[in-house]
């Protein structure tokens, strides 16, 4: 039986039961859901999560509060949906071959992934959502988990897959692939953290963000993981 709004209001946010119920509700996605999600994203980015009321959200979306609550049990569920949509709409998919068989293919795949990841991490919208998530995660742990899956987890998975394919082709040395993936992704995340996330928005708007030299990063990484040529 499909969950009702009132029944979902009694379920702890972030619980397995609550997530299943929200997924069932959102599976019936319609124009109103898209309106609410778009309005919520705009308001959260503009004012922060805490400052946005459900009344303001309904008004921005052009729907009644009854319509809002028929789609989402609470404001926290709207934020979760905004983040889950960020995951599904994510463009982090390396354009290079995912099964490299030569040194050149491994090199090209890693450079392509590094550029895509760096670009996504540096997007202003992503950074602003990160600020909201950091503020709300102590109260709503599930929100932090959703956001973690949006880019960092996908980046680790893609990097690990590329390295394992390179190892199978005898291009990458026999090493701990998880540690190697962290070594690859870590500097890209730190660059976004120190140059965008920890910079006040008004300063960031007026000051160009120093670019990361992706090619140098990949060059240094490859000296660590490549098999020695015979």
Q: Does 7 score more than 50 pLDDT?
A: no
* Residues 6+ positions from 12 with CB-CB distance below 8 Å: 18
Who wins on pLDDT, 16 or 105?
105
Give the angle 45-48-49 at the CA atoms, nearest 5°. 110
Q: Does 2 score more than 50 pLDDT?
A: no
Please state, rounded to an integer, the average pLDDT across all residues of the chain.
83
CB count in 10 Å sphere of residue 179: 9
Q: Does 229 score more than 80 pLDDT?
A: no
pLDDT of residue 22: 52
- From residue 210, give the alpha-carbon distance in Å to each of 91, 172, 189, 191, 195: 23, 31, 14, 9, 7
Q: Give the span between the Cα atoms of 88 and 140, in whole angstroms.
A: 21
Residue 80 near residue 22, CB atoms below 8 Å: yes
pLDDT of residue 3: 42
Q: Does 92 score more than 50 pLDDT?
A: yes
- Residue tagged 């991490």 (tokens): 121
* Residues 6+ positions from 17 with CB-CB distance below 8 Å: 11
How far does Cα 176 stand from its chain's mean position? Answer: 25
Given pLDDT bands bounded at 50, 70 and 90, which one contains residue 200? confident
* Structural domains of the chain in order of their starting residue, each with its CATH number: 5-88 (1.10.357.10), 103-225 (1.10.357)
Q: Considering just the CA atoms, what is the radius of gyration of the chain in Å? A: 21
Q: Give the span between the Cα atoms of 153 and 72, in whole angstroms.
A: 26
In this prediction, residues 75-99 reach a mean pLDDT of: 74
């Amino acid at each position: 039986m499909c969950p009702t709004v009132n029944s979902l209001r009694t379920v702890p946010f972030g619980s397995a039961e609550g997530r299943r119920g929200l997924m069932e509700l959102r599976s019936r996605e319609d124009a109103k859901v898209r309106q609410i999600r778009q309005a919520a994203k705009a308001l959260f980015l503009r004012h922060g999560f805490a400052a946005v009321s459900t009344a303001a959200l309904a008004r921005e979306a052009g729907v009644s509060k009854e319509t809002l609550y028929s789609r989402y049990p609470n404001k926290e569920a709207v934020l979760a949906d905004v983040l889950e949509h960020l995951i599904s709409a994510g463009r982090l998919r390396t354009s290079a071959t995912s099964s490299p068989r030569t040194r050149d293919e491994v090199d090209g795949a890693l450079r392509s992934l590094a550029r895509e990841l760096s670009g996504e991490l540096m997007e202003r919208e992503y950074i602003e959502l990160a600020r909201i998530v950091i503020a709300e995660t102590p109260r709503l742990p599930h929100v932090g988990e959703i956001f973690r899956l949006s880019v960092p987890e996908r980046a680790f998975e893609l990097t690990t897959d590329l390295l394992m394919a390179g190892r199978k082709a005898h291009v990458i040395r026999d090493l701990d692939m998880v540690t190697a993936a962290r070594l690859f992704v870590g500097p890209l995340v730190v660059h976004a953290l120190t140059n965008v996330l920890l910079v006040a928005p008004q300063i960031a708007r007026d000051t160009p963000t120093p670019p990361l030299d992706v090619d140098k990063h990949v060059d240094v990484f490859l000296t660590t993981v490549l098999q020695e040529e015979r």
